């Protein structure tokens, strides 16, 4: 499951974020603070809680809940659905 979490790329979910004024700025889906996304690297930072690593995990969960991430990886109800997995 760690591999699934490691592959999270917020750039794939920008359409789920509310834009703010300024380049690559969004409203944080957790605290409504200012969230910035580096479009080149995919790194993201909420300036409402800049030193809180758990906050970044909470943002990931708000943008792409674990249940959805597992389904995207072909895992549903704890069982692997090999028909949904596409080889890389």
pTM check: above 0.85: no
Residue written as tokens 């906050």?
Answer: 55
What mean pLDDT do residues 42-67 have? 90
- Tally of domains within the chain: 1
Tokens of 31: 């605290």
Confirm if 56 and 46 have CB atoms less than 8 A apart: yes
Rounded to whole angstroms, the Cα distance separating 31 from 61 reads 13
Is 83 a domain residue? no
**Residue 26: pLDDT above 80?**
yes
- Whether residue 48 contacts residue 28, with contact meaning beta carbons closer than 8 Å, is answered with yes
Q: Is residue 88 part of a domain?
A: no
More confident call, 74 vs 60? 60
- Please give the mean pLDDT across all residues of the chain: 82
CB 27 within 8 A of CB 18: yes
Tell whether 87 is covered by a domain: no
Asked, for residue 28, whether it belongs to a domain, the answer is: yes
What average pLDDT does this structure show over 50-73? Answer: 84
């Amino acid at each position: 499951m760690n591999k699934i979490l490691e592959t999270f790329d917020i750039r794939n979910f920008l359409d789920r974020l509310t834009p703010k004024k300024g380049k690559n700025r969004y409203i944080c889906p957790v605290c409504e603070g200012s969230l910035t996304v580096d479009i080149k690297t995919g790194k993201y930072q909420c300036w409402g809680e800049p030193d809180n690593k758990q906050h970044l995990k909470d943002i990931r969960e708000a943008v792409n809940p674990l249940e959805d991430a597992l389904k995207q990886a072909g895992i549903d109800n704890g069982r692997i659905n090999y028909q949904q997995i596409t080889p890389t």
